[in-house]
Amino acid sequence: MSVRPDVGLERLIHGLEQELLEAADEEFMAGAHDLGMNPQTKGSAAFVGVKDFSPQLLSALRRAYQERLDRTPRDDADA
C-alpha cells in the first residue's frame, strides 16, 4: 500500500464494504455456522451487539443500576 495508513485503511474498508454488500445471504449464514452459531435460533450469539445487549451497553446498564441503588436511600431521606 503506497499511501498514508489512515487513507489506505479507509480505502480498504470501503472496498471490503462493497464486497460485503455484494455477498450472498448464504455466505453470512455459512460464516455463522462455521463459528458454531445458528442465526435461526432465538438469542443466537451471532446477534450479540445487534439485537441484544452489547458488552458496552450491559456495562452501562450495570453502572446506571448501581448509581440508582446508591441514590435511592438519599432520595428517601430527602422525602
Q: Given the rule CB under 8 A, which residues bind other proteins?
A: 1-6, 8-17, 19-21, 23, 25, 27-32, 34-35, 37, 39-40, 45-58, 61-62, 64-65, 68
Q: Which is nearer to other proteins, 56 or 74 (CB)?
A: 56
User: CB–CB of 51/43 below 8 Å?
Assistant: no
CA 9 to chain centre: 21
Shortest approach of other proteins to residue 65 CB, angstroms?
4
Q: Which is nearer to other proteins, 62 or 74 (CB)?
A: 62
Q: Which is nearer to other proteins, 14 or 74 (CB)?
A: 14
Residue 70: burial class (beta carbons within 10 Å; 0-12, 13-18, 19+): exposed
- The set of cell numbers assigned to 72 is 435511592
